[in-house]
Amino acid sequence: MVKAAKYGFALLLFWAMSPAWTMAPSEIIEKVDALMNPEARVMLRLTFKKNGRVDESYEMKTYARDNNQKVIVRFTAPASSIGNDLIMLDRNVWMYQQNAGRTLRVPANLAFGDTGFSYGDIVRLNLKDNYNATLASETDKEWVLDLTAKDRQSPYHRIQFTVAKGSFVPVKAVALSGAGQIIKTIEYKAIKNVNGRDKPTELFVTSPLSPDEESTMTYEAETPMVLAEQFFNRQNLALRLEEHQ
């Protein structure tokens, strides 16, 4: 009886002390999504460099809710982009063309300007809804997940995704084509404490297809807030009602 009790206690202690790698891959990416895509207003800056010189630069504020299933992106610079805003509704990305007064659907995998980011990256499509995850390998400190697109709406066919254990901070994402060719690498840098949690505040993109180019998305500020669902519709791209509340 004593031995059995000791064994049972030891088993409970083992499970209590087991590291986070016992989590399912789907749970890991859900944790990453929660860290990177909270319900908040986020100020972003995107720069694109070619041969070391800034070629394009954008500034934007975004509003997100429902695990990033609904996102509004308002451009604040350059002047030519102001008013040509984006909205994502249940994985569908739409752009408002201010001059034409119309809204067009945009493929999530379409390149955003000449930058290394896609429109799916700009609206920050969450991982859980877009990819099936399996564990490829792991170390004491990191998981390497194999993410496979659920359908053609996902920005990338496949991603090798490295995540830090314990913190669920993304480290690196290698996007691959259907043939297994590396399309681009996203490195997650500048870890800072944001609203009580450590997270990357810079996404640095390079591609072996364009070795003289680099793109950086910087998180300038993140303010927790839950924007009412009534603002997340295509008509509001032109009305901008959230700015008057």
Residue 155 pLDDT: 87
36: nearest Cα among 174, 137, 148, 186: 186
Residue 236 pLDDT: 94
3-state secondary structure of 84: coil
pLDDT per residue rounded down to tens, the chain (245 residues) = 545 555 555 444 444 444 444 789 999 999 999 999 999 999 999 999 999 999 999 999 999 999 888 999 999 999 999 999 999 998 899 999 999 999 999 999 999 999 999 999 999 888 998 999 999 999 999 999 999 999 887 889 999 999 999 999 999 999 999 899 999 999 999 999 999 999 999 999 999 999 999 999 999 999 999 999 999 999 999 999 988 86
- DSSP structure class, residue 177: -
Domain range annotation of the chain: 20-244
What radius of gyration, in Å, describes the C-alpha atoms of the chain?
20
Q: What is the spatial distance between Cα 183 and Cα 207, in angstroms, rounded to a whole number? A: 6
CATH topology of domain 20-244: outer membrane lipoprotein receptor (LolB), chain A (2.50.20)
- Written as one string, the DSSP assignment of 2-54 is HHHHHHHHHHHHHHHH--GGGS-HHHHHHHHHHHHS-SEEEEEEEEEEETTEE
Residue with tokens 């830090």: 164
